[in-house]
Amino acid sequence: MRFLKGKDYKDASRKAANIISAQIIMKPNCVLGLATGSSPIGAYNQLIDWYKKGDLDFSEVSTINLDEYKGLSGEHEQSYRYFMNTNLFNHVNIEKSKTFVPDGLAEDDDRECARYNEIIKSKGIDLQLLGLGHNGHIGFNEPDDAFEKETHIVKLSENTILANSRLFEEVSHVPRYAFTMGIKNIMQARKIVVIVSGVDKADIVKEVFFGPVTPKVPGSILQMHNDVTVIGDEAAFSKIGI
Just list the catalytic residues.
67, 135, 137, 142
Query: Given the complex with ligand F6R, which of 48 and 218 has the nearer CB atom?
Result: 218
Site residues for ligand F6R, window 161-190 (CB under 6 A)? none
66 binds ligand F6R (CB under 6 A): yes
What is the full DSSP assignment across the chain?
-EEEEESSHHHHHHHHHHHHHHHHHH-TT-EEEE--SSTTHHHHHHHHHHHHTT----TT-EEEESEEETT--TTSTTSHHHHHHHHTGGGS---GGGEE---TT-S-HHHHHHHHHHHHHHH--SEEEE---TTS-BTTB-S-SS---SSEEEEPPHHHHHHHGGGSSSGGGS-SEEEE--HHHHHTSSEEEEEE-SGGGHHHHHHHHHS--BTTBGGGGGGG-SSEEEEEETTTTTTTT-
Contacts (CB under 6 A) with ligand F6R, residues 126-145: 131-133, 137-140
Cβ closest to ligand F6R, residue 60 vs residue 165: 165
**Minimum distance from CB of 41 to ligand F6R (Å)?**
8
Q: Is 35 in the site for ligand F6R (CB under 6 A)?
A: yes
- By CB under 6 A, tell whether 232 contacts ligand F6R: no
Which listed residue (23, 36, 79, 99) binds ligand F6R by CB under 6 A? 36
Query: Which positions lie near ligand F6R, rule CB under 6 A?
Result: 35-39, 66-67, 131-133, 137-140
